[in-house]
Amino acid sequence: MTSAGELDNGHPTGLWLEEAATPYYMFKNEGYKVIIASPKGGAAPIDANSFGEGMFTDYCKKFMHDGEAVGALCHTVKLDDVDLDSTDALYMVGGHGTCVDFVNNPTLKNLVEQIYRAGKIVAADCHGVNILAECTELDGETPLLKDKLCTGFSSSEEVEVQLDTAIPFLIQEKFIELGANYEAGPNWTSKVCVDGNLITGQNPQSSEACAAAVISALS
């Protein structure tokens, strides 16, 4: 998840809580060991808007009253310290903060590429997909997303939240530019794409289905 609490223009942001809480408990319920990591390590900021009406789900409430979960959120593992050998799946949580520190992040890029090339699961929801735009195949040139079925926060959703001009790029446009087979559902509805060991979700409403796809892939 992101370490960034504001966009480059100063707009307050962070991680989207529901996109962290939902997979966290779904994975824990399967008996998985869940490591919460971020680019800088330490406390991860939460986008205040994710506490809004209709956004603060039962999983969110459980998370914020769970000492172990909140402790992990306040003491995230730095990406550099993630043990690739013991990692079976990488799940990248969204939130507009990723537009700051998932972009131009060579450490995360390397992590994604190594996990993907090892045939392990690379999953991302909403803005968590940002880093995928920089990842390549083994040749170092072919975009990882080329000809891949994928999704991510749509341009129309970005316009609706009025942040389309505050971010480095529109995910939908960038993915299509890279040759991806990008698909989007109607705004604010669940949409998940699976292409081999690459799993992507469109928006906060997709987090449950995205996590379920990861569980299915690991089963």
pLDDT in tens, 143-190: 999 999 999 999 999 999 999 999 999 999 999 999 999 999 999 999
Q: Average of pLDDT values for 54-77?
A: 97
Using DSSP, state whether 39 is helix, strand or coil: coil
Strand partners, 42: 76
Distance between CA atoms of residues 170 and 155, nearest Å: 6
Distance between CA atoms of residues 19 and 211, nearest Å: 9
Using DSSP, state whether 165 is helix, strand or coil: coil
pLDDT reported for residue 71? 98
pLDDT reported for residue 91? 98
**pLDDT tens for each residue of 89-148:** 999 999 999 999 999 999 999 999 999 999 999 999 999 999 999 999 999 999 999 999
pLDDT reported for residue 132? 98
pLDDT reported for residue 134? 97
What share of the chain in percent tops pLDDT 70? 100
Contact 195, 149 (CB under 8 A): yes
Phi, psi (degrees; rounded to nearest 5) at 152: 165, 175
Average pLDDT value over all residues in the chain: 97
pLDDT reported for residue 28? 98
CATH 3.30.70.890 assigned to 17-218: no
Crossing angle of helices 207-218/17-29, nearest 10°?
30
pLDDT reported for residue 44? 98
pLDDT band at 75 (very low <50, low <70, confident <90, very high): very high
Write down the domain spans for the chain: 17-218
pLDDT reported for residue 72? 97
pTM for this one? 0.97
Q: Average of pLDDT values for 78-88?
A: 93
Distance between CA atoms of residues 97 and 16, nearest Å: 9
C-alpha distance across the termini of the chain, in Å: 24
pLDDT reported for residue 111? 96
